[in-house]
Amino acid sequence: MTPLKIPAEIIDIFPYGDIRPIQDELISTIYSALKEKKNVVIEGANGLGKTVAALTACIPIARERDLQIIHVCRTNKQADRVISELKEIAKKTDVSGVSIRGRREMCPHPIIEKHADDAATASVLCNQLKKLRKCEYHNRMDEKSPNFRNVMKILEEVPSTSTEINNLCRENRLCSYELILKLVEKVDVVAASYQYLFNPPIRDIFLSKVDRGMSELLLIVDECHNIIDASLNISSDQLSIFSLRQALKEIKAFNHPQFLRLVRGLTSVLEEEQVRSDIEKKVDARAILLSLSREIGTSIDLDYVDKLISAGMKIQREYLSRNKPPRSYIHRIGQFLRRFVLTKSRTEFLHLITSYRTRTEGWSVKFEVVSLDARFTTKHVLEYVGNSVHISGTIEPIDSYSKIVGLDKLPLVSKVLDSPYSEKNVQGYVIDRISTKLADRTPENYKKMCEIIGEAANNTPSNSGIFAASYVVMKGLLDAGVESYLDKPFFYEQRKMTSSANDRLIDEYKNLSTRGGAVLMGVLGGRSSEGADFPGKQMNTCMIVGIPYARPTTRIESQIGYLEEHFHRKGREYGYVIPAIRRASQAAGRPIRSINDRGLILFLDYRFGQSYTARFLPAWLRQNTRPLQYEPGRIAKIAQEFFD
């Protein structure tokens, strides 16, 4: 392949010596599209260096058009990685940047560290502490102070992660969150979570701080496949019967009898529908609001909702004055009812009453407002930013992504890059005559799966991973005695495991990678299959057990029906098949995090090899995957030859 001609202004700032083949195509595609003021969607393999390539391509365009680069990611760790790459670029050119986290993560005040369980509580606490001048960190934020000016000067000149800013501010007794908000106006690149641009209340605050309009931003959406679910979650909401019962106590404690009949009415609706089973029931929001309005003698509209929210804010302030966590359940009801009222007649929203099992194995029930259309959130961003660049390792088919997020009506360039991996790096095999379809979940098939897993893991020099389609499939493997087939330490996720417990499990597993290796089992779409990376020896072999199709619940069927209507009979494909294959592809890519990593990937389900399903696998994986008829010992031989 003839190397592409890359503009000198990009070569001058690229930090890692020569630009690699395929990486040059990534840079050229982004740069050329932005030159023509078009948006870009591009898929490239894991380990290609997509982040540094996107930044390098965007910086000259941002300078030319006086745009600020906003690089949004799913997690704070990913945002910090963006700044790590920017630090390397800064060795070649003058460029500044920060990664930003929420107030709850950044605030050093002991009251917020102790009482703020969520972002909303942290915001209320912070505002009250500032108003009462009870925060020494905020009180020191005097722009005339030499201490403040010195810290700002350091951070304006050097790209800095939120962690580095936090540490520097704690040393100088300054508020790191407020200081970052002052920095975002001055730097060239801001790396943040999706929430900062796609969540409307947070976006409004953020834009006021960067002091720019949307058209003055150049947006990079990293791991862009995640923005679909993130957008749906942003525009959805829920209200549990627990919150309603706590609100009844709050009404009595703070003397708000005007809300008593409303809360009792909402509680009664949920109690009538509660069952001891995982059930979702579609409800008519208009009918519920009309019935409750008659019951309380006044219309439940936005004016009424504002009264609830206002009363809740007063309760929050009262709690704070007593040095208690400022959590108001009346305020929570007001927030939910605002969403309920605004969406009551909108076809892109589903209204449910859901009975569910709690973390403590009891049963509860809740109202839900479920968004069915990501464009309700994304269009308010993508239609107004200067331009946007969307990058992912698992975004095929690009046409479906573009339509679902609303890019298809905008000037757009899309491209799927070839795989940079040979069979020395990546080998994938689809095992024939085995699947996790309901009819195939037999003891005999689970035993065969365990044999394959044992052969692969025992002949892998370091760590192996198993990712099951669901907890039901995982239980089938455990019941079949998968651990007895393994010669290595075995770890597995549990459904009710806390985040910290899961982190400890992952750390222990990773630490064994240089001591003979271990085996980790998780579920597709879970913390380990998407939220963790396993570079180098931390995972050599990855086994995907089944396709993680969603359970056919009311919300899934409604989602499919909605997409079917709006995307020309593509509902099942867009809402059911593609999300499942994408989750499997994400897990399959866990061992491949750099261009030098090696990964043996086994699909224990013949359906991955069918032409309809296989075309949704990303190009880098599809190009290196072939069918395999299993015979005892064959996987062991493949693993030995691959790793030798």
Mean pLDDT value across residues 357-385: 94
Q: What are phi and psi of 16, to 5 degrees?
A: -115, 45
The beta strand positions in 345-411, using DSSP E, are 349-357, 363-371, 387-392
Model pTM? 0.92
What pLDDT, in 10s, does the model give residues 473-489? Answer: 999 999 999 999 999 99
Q: Check if the beta carbon of residue 389 is closer than 8 Å to that of residue 221.
A: yes
Supply the DSSP symbol for 525: T
Tokens standing for residue 511: 């630490």
Mean pLDDT value across residues 200-225: 93
Stronger pLDDT, 44 or 321, i.e. the higher one: 44
| Rounded distance between C-alpha atoms, residue 482 and residue 495, angstroms | 18
| Rounded distance between C-alpha atoms, residue 176 and residue 341, angstroms | 37
pLDDT over 90 at 325, yes or no: no
Residue with tokens 């910290």: 500
238-252, 348-362, 417-431: which has the highest mean pLDDT?
238-252
Q: What are phi and psi of 510, to 5 degrees?
A: -60, -40
pLDDT over 50 at 45, yes or no: yes
| Rounded distance between C-alpha atoms, residue 74 and residue 196, angstroms | 11
Helices and strands, number each (H, E), in the chain: 31, 18
Q: What pLDDT score was predicted for residue 106? A: 81
Q: What pLDDT score was predicted for residue 2? A: 45
| Rounded distance between C-alpha atoms, residue 284 and residue 353, angstroms | 10
Pairing of strands 412-416, 39-43: parallel
Q: Check if the beta carbon of residue 295 is closer than 8 Å to that of residue 285.
A: no
Tokens standing for residue 144: 């005339």
pLDDT over 60 at 3, yes or no: no
pLDDT over 80 at 529, yes or no: no
What pLDDT, in 10s, does the model give residues 80-137? Answer: 999 999 999 999 999 999 999 888 788 877 777 777 777 767 777 787 788 778 788 8
**Fold: same for 1-100+185-225+393-418 and 426-643:** yes
Which range among 219-223, 355-359, 410-414, 440-444 shows the weakest confidence by mean pLDDT? 355-359
pLDDT-based confidence at residue 531 (cuts at 50, 70, 90): low
pLDDT over 70 at 58, yes or no: yes
pLDDT over 50 at 437, yes or no: yes
Q: Check if the beta carbon of residue 159 is closer than 8 Å to that of residue 92.
A: no
β-sheet bridge partners, residue 349? 371
pLDDT-based confidence at residue 526 (cuts at 50, 70, 90): confident
What pLDDT, in 10s, does the model give residues 578-620? Answer: 999 999 999 998 888 777 888 999 999 999 999 999 999 998 8
Mean pLDDT value across residues 615-631: 93
Q: Check if the beta carbon of residue 571 is closer than 8 Å to that of residue 562.
A: yes
Which of 328, 455, 422, 384 shows the shortest CA–CA distance to 200?
384
CA atoms within 13 A on the CB side of 515: 6
Tokens standing for residue 174: 């300054």
**Where does residue 324 rank: exposed (0-12), middle (13-18), buried (19+ CB within 10 A)?**
exposed
Q: Check if the beta carbon of residue 560 is closer than 8 Å to that of residue 576.
A: yes
Tell me the CA end-to-end span of the chain in Å, nearest whole number: 30
Mean pLDDT value across residues 63-91: 94
Q: Check if the beta carbon of residue 263 is closer than 8 Å to that of residue 248.
A: yes
Q: What pLDDT score was predicted for residue 503? A: 87
* CATH architecture type of domain 1-100+185-225+393-418: 3-Layer(aba) Sandwich (3.40)
* The CATH number fitting domain 237-371, selected from 3.20.20.70, 1.20.1260.10, 3.10.290.10, 1.10.275.40: 1.10.275.40
DSSP string across 535-598: -GGG-SEEEEES--PPP--HHHHHHHHHHHHHTTT-HHIIIIIHHHHHHHHHHHTTT--STT--
**What is the topology classification, in CATH, of domain 426-643?**
Rossmann fold (3.40.50)
Tokens standing for residue 153: 């000067």
Q: What pLDDT score was predicted for residue 173? A: 87
Which range among 180-184, 186-190, 196-200, 447-451 shows the weakest confidence by mean pLDDT? 180-184
Which of 337, 347, 312, 346 shows the shortest CA–CA distance to 327?
312
Q: What is the mean pLDDT of the chain?
A: 92
User: In 132-240, which ranges are continuous DSSP H helix?
Assistant: 136-139, 146-157, 162-171, 176-183, 195-198, 200-210, 226-234
Residue with tokens 């409800």: 283
Q: What pLDDT score was predicted for residue 114? A: 74
Q: What pLDDT score was predicted for residue 574? A: 95
β-sheet bridge partners, residue 240? 366
pLDDT over 60 at 1, yes or no: no
- Sequence ranges of the domains in the chain: 1-100+185-225+393-418, 102-183, 237-371, 426-643
